[in-house]
Amino acid sequence: MSKNYNNEIEQAYNAITVMEEAQRCLLCLDAPCSKACPAGTDPAKFIRSVRFLNFKGAAETVRENNALGSVCARVCPTERYCQLGCSRSGIDKPINIGGIQRFVTDFEQQAGMDILEKGEANGMSVAIIGSGPSGLQAAATLLSMGYAVDIYEKSAKAGGYLRYGIPEYRLPDHIVDFEVKRIEKLGACIKLGTEVGKDITMDELKAKYNAVLVAIGASEAKMLPMFEGSEITETAVSFLARAKEAHGEVELPDNILVIGGGDVAMDVVTTLKLLGVKNVTDVVYEEFCEFLASKKELEGAQALGVSIIDGYVPEKVEGNTVTFKHRRIPGELKLTVDKIILAVGQRTADDTLGIKMVRNEVEFDGYNTGDNKVFVAGDIARGDKTVVWAVRKGKEAALEIHNCLGGKK
């Protein structure tokens, strides 16, 4: 198997190339990039610091609003947020804000900077269920306001989809370790291998803590009914978690069919290619003009030799053969493969820990469930399902808890 999987694909800037990129920035007043970050990061400010060779100041700016700055630098779909309205696009191409942020947070790590600060203890405590990005960010914000924080995590390691979803070649494990350790150092106690609802109940948490934050994400994979019982079918999140845990040491056959056309599907097909699978075919419901995956991820997958067939819907599965029909034109497509991976979305159970979900998210706006002790954050709360939004929701939910417990925002 190829070891490319364990190395970051994206080239990092060095001190010279980061300056070249920062020099392209127009240092806009009222900068569009700074208004567009869901987490409230101010790229114009940190790029200005980089131009003055003040990397330390730049790192402090990134961390002001984002406890997961080095993760977001790598995985944020910046083309949808800060880079979308970048004024430099009118001249040639937007500034690579994620790349500059990665340089700055790598510098922070190498320089051993400790930017996050713990607040003076206020005598109150919060239980957080789930150690994904929203739970981790909420913990950092609550700790900075003086709360004691325990995080309950059912998996063996912390990080949620940062740990078990996003592949190594985009987000190495050591970066997730770095972010998690800093939040632990700030005082968070992470209770791994503890599932709320099974090992401990919500009522026990409510009795023990001043507030409970439910940040459980959408950890179940969706399954198309016709594939249930198919022995050669696996879901995308199960496969990606397996590959990540084994650092790419997984046995795979030569011919693999992937169904789905979002970013998770692109992660699957790219991972398969980096692990040396000969024939990877991705059949997608959308046509190319309406593709859900980011252009960068799609082009990356195609460059590795993935065959992408657009506009087809699966009709039936018989053993190793799947029959598809086109959405608009007559005719069918039959593929015989060794393995099938379904990348058709993730979900949250309809009634989770006593919280009612409608189409995988809570049915109310904001973070309070109506029970003044129970709050929600992350993918189950309304808003985009991305890491930077999980950070935003974690921070806002922490401030809401603080407000409800009598603190000031």
Interface residues with ligand SF4 (CB under 6 A) are 25-28, 31-33, 43-44, 47, 86-88, 95, 97
Furthest-apart CA atoms within the chain: distance in Å: 68
Work out whether 105 is an interface residue with ligand FAD (CB under 6 A): no
3-state secondary structure at position 337: coil
Work out whether 187 is an interface residue with ligand FAD (CB under 6 A): no
Contact 281, 335 (CB under 8 A): yes
Window contacting ligand FAD (CB under 6 A); options: 6-14, 22-30, 95-103, 194-202: 194-202
88 or 326: CB nearest ligand SF4? 88
Min. distance of Cβ 100 from ligand SF4 in angstroms? 9
Quote the Cα angle for 394-82-240, to 5°.
60
60 or 361: CB nearest ligand FAD? 361
Min. distance of Cβ 247 from ligand SF4 in angstroms? 35
Work out whether 383 is an interface residue with ligand FAD (CB under 6 A): no
Work out whether 138 is an interface residue with ligand FAD (CB under 6 A): no
Quote the Cα angle for 394-400-404, to 5°.
145
Task: Output the six-digit token pair for 365.
Answer: 């706006």
Task: Output the six-digit token pair for 136.
Answer: 């981790």
> How far apart are the two ends of the chain, measured CA to CA in Å?
52
Window contacting ligand FAD (CB under 6 A); options: 60-68, 214-222, 244-252, 271-279: 214-222
Task: Output the six-digit token pair for 83.
Answer: 């880079």
Query: How many CB atoms are closer than 10 A to CB 73?
Result: 25
Min. distance of Cβ 181 from ligand FAD in angstroms? 16
Binding partner of 248, given ligand FAD, ligand SF4, none, CB within 5-8 angstroms per partner class:
none
Q: How far apart are CA 143 and CA 135, in angstroms?
A: 12
Q: How far apart are CA 390 and CA 135, in angstroms?
A: 8
Burial of 21 (0-12, 13-18, 19+ CB in 10 A): middle
Min. distance of Cβ 185 from ligand FAD in angstroms? 20
Work out whether 99 is an interface residue with ligand FAD (CB under 6 A): no
List of E strands, 143-199: 148-152, 189-191
Q: How far apart are CA 209 and CA 184, in angstroms?
A: 19
Work out whether 264 is an interface residue with ligand FAD (CB under 6 A): yes
Q: How far apart are CA 189 and CA 174, in angstroms?
A: 20
Binding residues for ligand FAD, how many (CB under 6 A)?
38
Query: Which residues ranging from 224 to 263 are in contact with ligand FAD (CB under 6 A)?
Result: 237, 240, 263
216 or 362: CB nearest ligand FAD? 216
Work out whether 161 is an interface residue with ligand FAD (CB under 6 A): yes
Give me the 60-79 binding string for ligand FAD, x by CB under 6 A, dash otherwise.
---------------xxx--
Q: Interface with ligand FAD by CB under 6 A: which residues? A: 75-77, 129-135, 152-155, 160-161, 165-166, 195-197, 215-217, 219, 237, 240, 263-264, 267, 346, 378-379, 385-388, 390
